[in-house]
Amino acid sequence: ETGVTQTPRHLVMGMTNKKSLKCEQHLGHNAMYWYKQSAKKPLELMFVYNFKEQTENNSVPSRFSPECPNSSHLFLHLHTLQPEDSALYLCASSHLAGGQGYEQYFGPGTRLTVT
Amino acid sequence: AQSVTQLDSQVPVFEEAPVELRCNYSSSVSVYLFWYVQYPNQGLQLLLKYLSGSTLVESINGFEAEFNKSQTSFHLRKPSVHISDTAEYFCAASEPLQGAQKLVFGQGTRLTINP
């Protein structure tokens, strides 16, 4: 595997379910990010992890719970979601600023539908 | 806080015609700017970036963007488009965030190429 991978690619869940999204980066980066992409809205940054430590929680509801066990893996745990949470969830990674570049590399995303 | 505005939500052009996708950012002492492209059912791919130095940056597939500090713009251009350029294009600006970075995205511009 190369780059940033995300599983599953598609997920349909009911409002009472609990599920998790997984992201893995194979680029040797040490910062990882979760974004939400909804129709007709700009991409929204949800969470940032820097060396496994959460440095940003962009006012995200508690029904979204991130976990970063190491600098290569990032999870987003989901529970009691609402239909308006249906969106494409994108994971990204980067080197730290001032290091080897500033660009973020994105995974293909998980298309989430909440019924 | 940084903000990014993409002035056109949709741009239709004919194949082999030139195109310009407009992007403006809010003023900042130092800013790093990016263009990402998103093909259907895929994540975001970095197209080009401006960090410092020459104000004209180029991608490998014929796109270029010019950083204009006085007009706070970073417009994307291509002299002759192909059907394969059909995609959504996102302009982004970065803000430092405790060693990592926060990307602020514009709303996106959907580029449609007609034969």
Whether residue B28 has pLDDT greater than 70: no
Is A31 within 8 Å of B99 when comparing Cβ atoms? yes
Interface test with A, best of B45, B49, B103, B107 (most A CBs within 10 A): B103
- pLDDT digits over A38-88, tens only? 987 889 899 988 876 777 777 899 999 999 999 899 999 999 999 999 999
Whether residue B37 has pLDDT greater than 80: yes
| SS3 call for A63 | coil
Please tell me the predicted confidence (pLDDT) of residue B2.
80
Q: How far is A41 from chain B (nearest CA, A)?
A: 6
Q: What are phi and psi of B79, to 5 degrees?
A: -70, -25
Is residue B58 classed exposed, middle or buried when 0-12, 13-18 and 19+ CB atoms within 10 A define those classes? exposed
Determine how β-strand B109-114 pairs with β-strand B87-97. antiparallel
- pLDDT digits over B48-57, tens only? 999 888 888 8
Q: How far is A53 from chain B (nearest CA, A)?
A: 11
| Integer Cα distance of B103 and A103 in angstroms | 9
Count of alpha carbons within 13 angstroms of residue A57, beta-carbon side: 12
CB A8 within 8 A of CB A25: no
Q: What is the C-alpha radius of gyration for chain A, rounded to an integer number of angstroms?
A: 14
Count of alpha carbons within 13 angstroms of residue A95, beta-carbon side: 8
